[in-house]
Structure 1
Amino acid sequence: MQEIKDISDYKLNLKERIPDVAMQLFTERGINAVRMDDVAQAMSISKRTIYELYATKEELLFEVVVKHFKQRVDNMELALAHCTNVMEILLEVYRMKVRDFKNTNPLFFTEMVKYPQVKRFLDEQNNVMRDNSYEFIQRGVDEGYFRADLNYQMAVLQFDAMGEYVMQKELYRQYSIEDIFRNLVFVSLRGLCTDKGIKAIDEMLFQ
């Protein structure tokens, strides 16, 4: 009985560690370039063992994406805890996004949406974030940074479309991540801002 428990604990420990190792490989090389064999080799375990825990590569990728999405949300909440207004939040999110993209092979982002289970999860999270963005915008209006006379449902959809265009056209191959985010987030955002908001964005751009 003890031997069975030890085996179970061993596999539970592996199941906890494998997504972190797989994430490192996926973000370094892209998803398609990484085989289950590569993950097993990096873990110093057999291919059979990894397939006992994850029947398919998509199953492993899904767990990787879910686990690290939750970790990023937790990290962002900690980072934003000290922010006092929407402009400070925007700057912090900008810095975190740039850092994440700079440390990740762009192929990871373009390839993971080709896996149906992963795409469904990402679409669900995007819908949640879209709903949260309306609350964020209303806070910005209340704080005097965003204009009150605009259609923000349309604005959010336009930002989504710009983000999709960046990924579909692989603009990250032509421009730095910093330039893409500065144009996407700050330049485009200025049109939604009051004079107070524009001043805050310009100060952030040149600080």
Structure 2
Amino acid sequence: MRTTNDKTLLRERVIDAGQELFHKNGIRAVTMDDVAHKLHISKRTLYQLFDTKESLLIACQQKAMAEHQQQIRNIMAETDNVIEIILCDLQLNMKEIQKFSKEFLNDIPLYDKLRENIRQHRKENKANALEFIQRGISQGLFRPEINAEMVYEVGVGITDLLVEKGYYNTVSPFEMLSSSTIAYLRGISTEKGIELLNNFVSKYKTTE
């Protein structure tokens, strides 16, 4: 008989296996049989932990979001410079995108629950995002006349458009971000902020 700790550890293993399979093969192509086979466990054991593939998918998403949030907290513990934090976040995003197959990226818009979770996550973190933008203004990195609310909403819109149009599949992560997010940041940044952005682009080009 499994203890609570055993079940927790197995649940984490299932989530890790699910993430790997979803990212590699796409969401639609992966079955619960595939997950059970990968872990050498019975389907009965798997269904005791996750009753549907969607529930496993949501758990995978929640873990990824929690890990990303922790990475951001780690970055913020090292620097309070708003643009440096954003650029570190962009680097994390580019590394993550490179792990995803085209099939996975194509499947994301098909799952309403995934998108709803993202919307809810944004809603919960919007106040922090607006405060973050104001901090960028105070640091002399963002132009003082910008409207933080509009800057936030346009930034979210850019991210959604990239997914909706499938640009993740047609251009490199760096080309995608330099033509969208980084270009947008240049438009709202002061000369001081633009210098940091340009340094990031130059450095990334040499290591790409």
Per the normalisation by structure 1, the TM-score is 0.88
Once residues 62 and 199 of structure 2 are traced to their aligned partners in structure 1, the CA distance between those partners, rounded to angstroms, is 36
Q: 1:83 to 1:10 in 2, by over 3 A?
A: closer
Q: 1:148 to 1:44 in 2, by over 3 A?
A: same
Find out whether 1:164 has 2:160 as its counterpart: yes
**SS of equivalent residue, structure 1 residue 81:** helix
Unaligned runs of 5+ in 2: 204-208
- Who is 2:94 aligned against? 98
Give the RMSD, CA atoms, in angstroms.
1.9
- Residue 139 of structure 1, CA deviation: 0.6
- Who is 2:33 aligned against? 37
Find out whether 1:54 has 2:46 as its counterpart: no
- Residue 43 of structure 1, CA deviation: 0.5
Larger radius of gyration: 1
| Runs (4+) off by over 6 Å | none
Find out whether 1:136 has 2:132 as its counterpart: yes
Q: State how many pairs are aligned.
A: 203
CA contact (8 A) 1:27 1:104 kept: yes
- Residue 75 of structure 1, CA deviation: 2.2
- Identity rate of aligned residues, in percent? 29
Once residues 60 and 14 of structure 2 are traced to their aligned partners in structure 1, the CA distance between those partners, rounded to angstroms, is 9
Per the normalisation by structure 2, the TM-score is 0.88
Unaligned runs of 5+ in 1: none
Among 174, 177, 184, the residue aligned to 2:180: 184
CA contact (8 A) 2:84 2:196 kept: no
Once residues 3 and 60 of structure 2 are traced to their aligned partners in structure 1, the CA distance between those partners, rounded to angstroms, is 23
Once residues 129 and 5 of structure 2 are traced to their aligned partners in structure 1, the CA distance between those partners, rounded to angstroms, is 42
CA offsets 1:154-199 (integer angstroms, 9 cap, x no match): 2222222221111111112221111111122211111111122222
CA contact (8 A) 1:80 1:92 kept: no
**SS of equivalent residue, structure 2 residue 180:** helix
- Who is 1:195 aligned against? 191
Once residues 62 and 79 of structure 2 are traced to their aligned partners in structure 1, the CA distance between those partners, rounded to angstroms, is 26
